[in-house]
Structure formats: structure tokens, C-alpha cells
Structure 1
Amino acid sequence: MLTWFAQAPAPESGGWTVTTWIAAVGAVISVATLVVTTTANSKRERTKWARETLVEAFFDFVNSSYDAGQAGKDYFKAAAACAEPEKLKKLIATLDEERDKLIHVQTRIRLLAPNKTLQAARQLRRRVNDLRDSLERNTSWEEHGRLVDAIADARENFVVLAKEDMSLPK
């Protein structure tokens, strides 16, 4: 009896059987599930990519700012010790290279991080620029120390905001 009922045409169904209707509904549910799952996975993968890229950008930015600050410190010490001009040029080249890296990495930060973190990155890059500019003039130990401290403070502010963006403890 059950077999006969499953093969009987559904009322006003245009010849479709109950089995055909059940299969059609199952297919629609499968397609809907596939679309929802694919969309959710795609969004999750984009979010994962953005987070990983942002972490890499934060790391590169902090690392380059440290290297630029260190090159500035080394330059100032070498200049005070009357080092060879070639050594001084090499230190300036290192600082300039790291400064260029900051600009490029800041582009990734601009695209992926909140505005407050971008502003902190800009501030840190400006402090590195101030240190670089100071190497072109006669800078006192006190002024040099203030510039180095300003970089350290700006870096710390940037790190705090970056950790906040990544939901890490401060």
C-alpha cells in the first residue's frame, strides 16, 4: 500500500509523484545549504587572510621602526666618535632603507587597520623622519635623546593599539 501511495500522482501536480516532489525539495535544500556554507567559508577565509596580513604588517612596521631608530643611534654615536665617512653613509643608508619600508608597510596598515592604529603608525613614522632629519644638522646629545625617546614612545603607543586590534592582552 505504501509503495502504491508513493507512486501515485500528487493532486494537481502536473504528473509529478510524491517521490519527485520530495526529491525536488531535497535538491533545493541541498543547494541552499551549499550556498550558505560556501558564503560563510569564503567570509571566514577572507577574515583569516586579513588578520594574518595585518599581523605581518604590524610586525614588519615595528621591526623596521626599531631598526631605523637603532641606525640613528648608531650614527650619532659613530659621528661623536669621529667615525669614517663611509661608516656614517652606511648607517644613513640603513636608516633610509628602513624608513622606506615603513612607508610601504604603512600602506597595508592603511588598508586593513582601524583609523586610530593608522594614526599611531603615521606618528611613529614621523618620529623616525624627525630622527633622520636631525642627522643633517648639528644635534645635541639631549635633542638626540629626546628624538630616540619619541620614537620609543610612538612605537609603544602603536604596539598597544595593534594588540587591541588583534584582541590581545595589553
Structure 2
Amino acid sequence: MADAAILSIRRAVRGDVEALLSLRALLLDGGPASSYASRNAEEGRNWKAAYRHWLRRTLGSDGRARIVVAVCGEAVVACATGIVDTRPPAPDCLGDRCGWVQSVVVAAKWRRQGVAERLLRALLQWFETRGVAKVVLESTPVALPLYRKLGFAPSHEPLLIRGRR
């Protein structure tokens, strides 16, 4: 187990692209906990090429997305992505901005030390500065206690997805 106190949290930069790809592969390359993981090598190559392109376009912009990373020295050991979307106002969100958290990933030796919590707190602070009052995420069962600790609650609505699969 590594010492998470030595980690720093910062905004991801273009030089982090390969590390971000490696971390996200922990989720998307056949992970048993996800229904959205790549099913074969070709799907893996395709999502990595598309993600690499998205990262190069997104990192460094002051747009609607923010990726935060935890670093030990020069090594990126964890990441989390936040995206701001605009939505029609509703009773639970009177503003037009909704936040989405995606791809919260921590390298194995850094897990269970509060790294994901630090990343999420940084993203939640960023959302707040952007005027985002409501933040949504999907969770794996193992991450539920963390998200509940940070104030997330089940929506009690089924999540339905329409797409390529």
C-alpha cells in the first residue's frame, strides 16, 4: 500500500493522455463490473483511438469538461472526469446546468486511501464554480459508500441506454 498523503491533485494536461488511457482501460477493457466494457480487441482499439482524440481536443480548453488527476511525482495514478451539460430547469435543478461524473479510476496500489474522494471533492468544487447545482453519476457497487458519503443518493429511476449495443 502506498502513502496517499504524498499525492497531489491537479487538472489533467495534454502530457497525461497516455496515463489517462491506461487508467480508463481498467474500466473499459473487459472489466467484469461494467456492461459498457469493450467485448474484444477491436472495440478496445476503437474506444482508445476515439478517447485519445477527445482528450487532445478537450485537455487545456476551458470548456465543459474537466479531468482531475492524482499524481505521485510525475506518475498519474488516478483520475476523474466531470462534464457540464445544459438542461431545461426542473424542480430539483432550477438552473440550466447539470454535472456528470465519469471515469473515476484509481490504480490498484492507491485504492482505499481516500484518493477517489479527493478527486471527487476537486470536481465538485469545479462544478460549483461553474454554477452547477445538480451532479449525476453511475456507480459500481464498491464505490457506492464513497458517493453516498459525498451526498449522492439513488435516483430510484431506471437507467435506460440506447446505443450501438
Using the size of structure 1 for normalisation, the TM-score is 0.27
Indicate the structure with greater strand content: 2
Structure 1 or 2, whichever has the larger Rg, is: 1
Using the size of structure 2 for normalisation, the TM-score is 0.28
